[in-house]
Amino acid sequence: MPRESLVTWRERLRRREISAVEATRYYLERIERLDPKIRAYITVCAEEALQEAEEADRRLSAGEDLPLLGIPLAIKDNICTRGIRTTCASKILENFVPPYDATVVERLKAAGAIILGKTNLDEFAMGSSTENSAFFPTRNPWDLERVPGGSSGGSAAAVAADLCVASLGSDTGGSIRQPASFCGVVGFKPTYGRVSRYGLVAYASSLDQIGPLTRTVADAALLLQIIGGPDERDTTSWPEPQPDYLKALENPVKGMRLGLPREAFGEGLDGEVRTALEEAFRALRELGCEIREVSIPHMEYALPAYYIIAPAEASSNLARYDGVKYGLRVPGRDLIEMYKKTRSEGFGPEVKRRIMLGTYALSAGYYEAFYRKASQVRTLIMRDFEEAFRQVDLLLMPASPTPAFRLGEKTADPLQMYLSDIYTIPVNLAGLPGLTLPVGLTPGGLPVGLQVIGPQLADARVLTLAHHLERALGLELNPPLE
């Protein structure tokens, strides 16, 4: 069976060329055969998925026409799923089974989707390589000795290896877009608030955003149409209704003004990545787009600002894991010792590092010097983007300074690991929509992704340009796995 997009699967199911049970069995067979090498999944729901597929076939036979009826999807394991273990790849939540579904999962189920399982991630979404999972690292389907990126590495690897039709991830500082680049798939972080965070286990609440990882831009548009929109259970969700993203894909791009931030194309950008991006720029010019240089003057301060703001919010959000209410409990002689033992044994090294960084930044005497200053820098970065979007319609940047790096290459040097997100973090700080799509392979056969960034609520415009570029490049990227 050939690898196919979500849109194609949908049409085949509607025409009854294939059944939902056959589609689900196809993916479960691939998971059983290939996932022991890749380790994209933490939990596989084989029995439940087949039951859902049988029900989908009955509904299809009865003439029901839901947008995802019978489509097998995967969900990042920091998004709550009722009755299915949700671990955040952490020992502290290893056996946690939520009593409710996240809003995005409710919407997928209402649209008829089948949940194949939950995908691996860096613990509590803190990392750039999926090596920080408490259970096992995920491997890149293009080269099993390399990382898939992070923190949504399991979701990206599952889509790239054709272990699901599409998946959901979350993006706090690049955690959808960077793994999409490393694995050669499409990854979209919508405008902050465009997709409800209700049921997403919080890392940094002012930065977190759920989004799709897919084979094509049209697939991302379709999934966003379903999971996006207002939600009264998330006070940060935008109240405005969504546009028709699929319809917007065919809008013209001729005459569109595109900006290249000079700060993103200087020292530190790998030459092979630059070459692949330049090929994409050539294709965009042939589509009639105008490309010019712009500036994001405070971009160099985004990384340090992020690593104060995000850990500070994590320090507060992760205080709830204390062994009292849910999750792991390690007994102690008294309450304080129980807290200490539970958190010491339950959290991994990177999570502890970020909790300590955040607690320090919020502590008396340091709040003004660190957290307040970082918040001011965030405002400056938002203003930089606003100024850039007065000159251009969209911005283009690398998704990562390098192709996928080797497993273990950066685990001993946290700063080098953090630099993997240097081009994606500014987008989260400003709350903007950003999409990564594959634009080529390095001479060594590793994918390279281009990041398309829009102003707030210009999600449709981002999808439009990415769709036209995807068609112009005509790439068919399949990892050498079989």
What are the residue numbers of the active site? 76, 151, 175
Distance CA 176, CA 279 (A): 23
Tokens read off for 84: 């299915």
Using an 8 Å Cβ cutoff, are 43 and 136 in contact? Answer: no
Q: Which residues contact 55 (CB under 8 A, 6 or more apart)?
A: none
- One-letter amino acid for residue 228 of the chain: G
| DSSP H helices in 241-334 | 245-248, 271-286, 302-317
Strands (E), 230-372: 257-261, 290-294
b/e map of 285-306 (b: 16 or more CB within 10 Å)?
Answer: eebebeeeebebebbebbbebb
List of residues 6+ apart from 196 with CB closer than 8 A: 102, 103, 104, 210, 227, 229, 230, 231, 233, 234, 237
How far apart are alpha carbons 382 and 371 in whole angstroms?
Answer: 17
Q: Give CA–CA dist 188/186, Å, rounded.
A: 7
- Three-state DSSP class for residue 93: helix
Q: What is the C-alpha to C-alpha distance for residues 113 and 6, in angstroms, rounded to an integer?
A: 11
Beta-sheet pairing, 257-261 with 394-398: parallel
Angle at 38 between CA 167 and CA 29, to 5 degrees: 70
Neighbours of 360 (CB within 10 A): 15
Could you give the angle at the alpha carbon of 48 between the alpha carbons of 43 and 52, nearest 5°? 130
Note whether 24 and 49 are within 8 A (CB). Answer: yes
* Radius of gyration from C-alpha coordinates of the chain: 21
**Which tokens belong to 422?**
């240097």
Q: Report the alpha-carbon distance of residue 265 to residue 271 in Å, rounded.
A: 10
Residue 118, H or E segment: strand 114-119
Question: Which residue blocks in 87-152 are alpha helix, DSSP H?
Answer: 103-110
Q: Phi/psi at 264 (nearest 5 deg)? A: -95, 0
In eight-state DSSP terms, residue 384 is H
**DSSP code string of 408-441:** TSSTT-HHHHHGGGTTTHHHHHHT--EEEEEEEE
Q: Which two tokens stand for residue 238?
A: 């935008």
